[in-house]
């Protein structure tokens, strides 16, 4: 019993000795962590200043700030661990982080996939905040591009959150990528209307509508002969925003109808012709009886 107590006492003395020996390193590690906190905030402020000058994309600036902030903390914590525990070598820490990263990679592969896709979207900038897009059947305005997802505000006031991996691998139609956008509006005129006269009338009318851009100039093309009308297409350009396209289309429809009324150009209704004939006279659909029973 006495030997056991002596062994326990010796172990406690050894632990106290190790603790006392490690105290300077622990205090130094704590000081390093405090310095890391100040250094991380300073690095974030410096990166923010540089980002405002060098990067136009606000989401990319936030990504760069957070990456530098986290990277500074990781470097400071690793250095503090090495100082506090001299027996713990930097290679052992890196090896442990490597094994942990493999486990985390399998467990959170979807999160990492969306993260990488978000970084690539921010770097390549296929679209920006405020752009109007169509992706995966959703149409609206880009509201936010974060690390994990892209948020779209639809024209009906609904928010759609799409994972960045889906956005990155799907076709994205950017409606506001250019400074102007074309609208094609079909209209039919009566067969008795001279086609050059109709084209000149419609082209003049659409050119005078507010919201229609003068360059590229509007065009009117014939596209075919319909059942009851000669089909034309009025092509004109507007600003790319959805509200401009929608409002200008209404104005153009009103202007075209008014121009046709003034020029006595008839926009015909669909016409169907019905033929009536005497069933007794035209009975070729039935076999003629020869008077014999069959």
Q: Give yes or no for residue 294 having a pLDDT over 50.
A: no
User: Other CB atoms closer than 10 Å to residue 65's CB: what's the count?
Assistant: 18
Domain borders along the chain are: 16-107, 126-174, 181-262
Q: Give yes or no for residue 89 having a pLDDT over 70.
A: no
Provide DSSP, 254-275. Answer: HHHHHHHHHTT---PPP-----
Higher pLDDT among residues 112 and 281, named by residue: 112
Residue 72 is predicted with a pLDDT of: 86
pLDDT in tens, 93-143: 666 666 555 555 555 677 778 888 888 888 788 888 899 999 999 999 999
CATH class of residue range 16-107: mainly alpha
Domain 181-262 maps to which CATH number in 1.20.1250.20, 3.30.420.40, 3.30.70.100, 3.40.50.300?
Answer: 3.30.70.100
% the chain with pLDDT above 90:
41
CATH class of residue range 126-174: mainly beta
E strand map for the chain: 132-135, 138-145, 149-154, 159-163, 172-174, 181-189, 219-225, 230-238
H and E: helices and strands count for the chain: 7, 8
pLDDT in tens, 245-267: 999 999 999 999 999 999 999 98
- Under a CB-based contact definition with an 8 Å cutoff, are residues 229 and 191 in contact? yes
């Amino acid at each position: 019993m006495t030997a056991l107590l002596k062994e326990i006492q010796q172990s406690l003395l050894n632990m106290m000795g190790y603790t006392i020996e490690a105290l300077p390193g622990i205090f130094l590690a704590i000081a390093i962590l405090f310095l890391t906190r100040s250094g991380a905030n300073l690095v974030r402020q410096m990166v923010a200043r540089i980002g405002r000058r060098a990067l136009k994309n606000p989401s990319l600036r936030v990504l760069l700030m957070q990456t530098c902030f986290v990277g500074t903390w990781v470097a400071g914590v690793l250095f503090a661990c090495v100082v506090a525990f001299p027996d713990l070598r930097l290679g052992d820490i890196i090896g442990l982080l490597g094994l942990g990263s493999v486990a985390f990679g399998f467990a959170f592969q979807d999160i990492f996939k969306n993260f990488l896709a978000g970084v690539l979207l921010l770097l390549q900038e296929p679209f920006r905040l405020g752009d109007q897009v169509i992706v995966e059947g959703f149409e609206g305005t880009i509201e936010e591009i974060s690390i994990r997802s892209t948020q779209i505000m639809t024209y009906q006031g609904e928010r759609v959150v799409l994972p960045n991996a889906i956005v990155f691998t799907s076709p994205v139609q950017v409606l506001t990528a250019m400074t102007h956008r074309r609208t094609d509006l079909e209209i039919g005129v009566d067969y008795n209307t001279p086609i050059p006269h109709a084209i000149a009338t419609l082209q003049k009318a659409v050119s005078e509508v507010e919201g229609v851009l003068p360059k590229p100039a509007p065009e009117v093309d014939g596209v075919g002969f319909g059942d009851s009308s000669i089909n034309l297409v009025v092509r004109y350009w507007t600003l790319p925003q959805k509200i401009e396209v929608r409002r200008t289309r209404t104005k153009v429809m009103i202007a075209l109808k008014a121009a046709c009324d003034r020029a006595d150009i008839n926009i015909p209704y669909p016409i169907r012709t019905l033929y009536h004939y005497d069933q007794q006279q035209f009975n070729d659909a039935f076999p003629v009886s020869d008077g014999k029973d069959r």
